[in-house]
Amino acid sequence: MKFLIIKCGGSIIDKLPDNFYDNIAAIQKQGDWKPIIVHGGGKLINELLQQTGVKAEFIDGLRVTTEEVLDVVEMALSGAMNKFLVRKLMSRTSAYGISGLDGKLLYAEPVANAAKLGLVGTVTKVNTALIEQIVEQDNIPVISPLAGGEDDARFNINADLAASAIARALQAELCFISDIPGIYRQVDGEKQMLTNVTDDELKQMIQQGLIKDGMIPKVQAALEALKQGAEKVTIVNGLAENSLLQLVDGNVEGTTITLSEEAYHV
């Protein structure tokens, strides 16, 4: 089976057109690729934290995940956001919403700076057999990025990194859904879109100031995915018509990022 991991950030989900979900259903029915969705939900988490009155502290721009905060995160991700995506797909095909906690789908250990960030984890094991079982029953897995750990622990997982871990475990293609066609660099005041680029080339462009502002977080997310074991990452415009169908056909307008030759031999 060839798997396609589709990572959707919470900030774009409410913008995605119906055609996006049509594409996912069409890819599944074609049979060559098995789509899997991994989603975030930062915007909804912030809204629910305000509504519930749970205070969140930030350190270096990262939310500290206490038990109280994690309750809200789980409510937002595994509840409202996950079921929203499942409903969108169920009108077109069959989908199965699941948390990384369920069936020990994702197993994690605390991040290095857990003393500061709290219940934030790094995925160390993926239950690929469970994902394959869901897929074999003609369901599209829709995965929220939480994970279990030792002694009944639970962890909040960065959605980019959860998608990367799943892609690595399944030896799958990984695409990040964005609201832009790909990564641009600025040359003499003009934007140039990159189609194929390595991690080293991107790092150099950032240092040279050719990639800047809001483009940098998108690049850093892709670079972190490669660091976590994804073989390549493609950034795809989820707002463009038939962008996912074009991706599996090899004709997508987007940016594909791969590891440099040196990195393969490290």
Binding residues for substrate are 41-42, 63, 156
Output the known binding site: 41-42, 63, 156
Look-up: residue for tokens 């100031």? Answer: 209
CA distances in angstroms from 22 to 25, 178, 247, listed in the order given: 5, 17, 14
Q: If 0-12 CB within 10 Å is exposed, 13-18 middle and 19+ buried, where does residue 264 land?
A: exposed
**Cβ within 8 Å of residue 58, ≥6 positions away:** 64
Query: Helices 18-30 and 82-90, interaxial angle, to 10°?
Result: 70
Termini Cα distance of the chain? 28
Q: By the 8 A CB rule, do 155 and 121 touch?
A: yes
The Cα diameter of the chain in Å comes to 56
Return the sign of the alpha-carbon dihedral for residues 163, 164, 167, 170: negative
Backbone angles phi and psi of 123, in degrees to 5: -70, 130
Per-residue exposure over 135-165, b if at least 16 CB sit within 10 Å of its own CB, e if not: beeebbbbbbbbbbbeeeebbbbbbbbbbbb
